[in-house]
Structure 1
Amino acid sequence: MENVPNGTYAMVNPQVENDPAKRQGMVGMIVDTNIDNDDIWVSFGKSEVGLYSTNALMVLQKPDIISQNAMDKRFEISGADFKQLMEISLLQADRRPENAKTALEMARSSEAVMQNSLTTLQDKLGLELNYEMAAGRRR
């Protein structure tokens, strides 16, 4: 299981149905975590912090996976989406925080780009959360 360091950028899944902070599709920075309770706090700027679960947040896949996805789907996606995926892969490989944010923002450009460059934080961490069990632990 990977660890999520504070300062990691994440995007709120645009399809998340219950988002009290109303930040679907927005990119923010992880500022605190409690993986045991599946609690991730994400900052969207001055004093704007939302609480999310790991399955409501999207993060970039590893750069080699993104570029491989682009190559595998090059005849199925548009030329613009292919180019966008390759640019995201290069930005992600650079590992500078500002590039990670830019890459996440670029990933919102189309459904094909999102599907081939993003994964849920839950999947990236390798978590298998049983929400009934998690709720039972909170009692």
Structure 2
Amino acid sequence: MKDLVGIQVMVHPDLTQDPVNKQGHLGTITHIVDDDRAAYVRFKNQAFGLYSTDALLMLIPPELIADKLRSDVIEMNMDVTDVVDILEMYQIHAAGTPEAQQEALDWAMTHDKISKAIIFSVEDWIEFQIDRLDQQQTSGRGR
């Protein structure tokens, strides 16, 4: 899961055991510890913390958001303003600066319906990637 290195994440705001007291703060994944399903995160003040991947939150990658919205708009009873807000969040996030990414994640976290649709844990992302790889390998086999 080396593709997660460099990704901006937010430490879950409700995390009760936080090694560096950064609940709700944005940091950058610097290293993944595959065996432990953990990640080292560097914060603005250059502090590092080791977190379980289920304690780190991220926006669903932009390349997946259209498919996710197609399935969730009706299921989650979203209206047009929710979808517009989501698209604006991704536009802000795309600026690429830590401040913009923090703003987008903060904004998404303050809306229950939106956060359920577009925020998931790094652990969920890893599971999604593993499932996708398994499906590609299974469908690529000949008879």
Q: 1:73 to 1:86 in 2, by over 3 A?
A: same
The higher radius of gyration belongs to: 2
State the alpha-carbon separation in 1 of the partners of residues 22 and 80 from structure 2. Answer: 29
Please say if residues 13 and 24 of structure 1, whose CA atoms lie closer than 8 Å, have aligned partners that are also in contact: yes
Which residue in 1 is equivalent to 2:44? 45
Please list every run of 5 or more consecutive structure 2 residues that lacks an aligned counterpart in the other structure.
131-143
The CA deviation string for residues 26-73 of structure 1, in whole angstroms up to 9 with x for no partner, is 211112221222221111112321110111111111325434555643
The higher-RCO structure (CA 8 Å, 6+ apart) is: 1
Which residue in 2 is equivalent to 1:110? 111
Which residue in 2 is equivalent to 1:16? 15
Q: 1:45 to 1:17 in 2, by over 3 A?
A: same
State the alpha-carbon separation in 1 of the partners of residues 13 and 79 from structure 2. Answer: 22
Which residue in 2 is equivalent to 1:119? 120
State the alpha-carbon separation in 1 of the partners of residues 63 and 113 from structure 2. Answer: 17
What is the TM-score when the length of structure 1 is the normalising length? Answer: 0.69
Please say if residues 27 and 105 of structure 1, whose CA atoms lie closer than 8 Å, have aligned partners that are also in contact: no
RMSD between aligned residues: 2.9
Q: 1:103 aligns to what SS in structure 2? A: helix
Percent identity between matched residues is: 24
Letter in 2 for 1:40: A
Please say if residues 11 and 104 of structure 1, whose CA atoms lie closer than 8 Å, have aligned partners that are also in contact: yes
Please list every run of 5 or more consecutive structure 1 residues that lacks an aligned counterpart in the other structure.
129-139
What is the TM-score when the length of structure 2 is the normalising length? Answer: 0.67
State the alpha-carbon separation in 2 of the partners of residues 62 and 13 from structure 1. Answer: 18
Letter in 2 for 1:103: A
Q: Single out whichever of 38-47 and 99-108 deviates more from structure 2.
A: 99-108
Aligned residue-pair number: 125
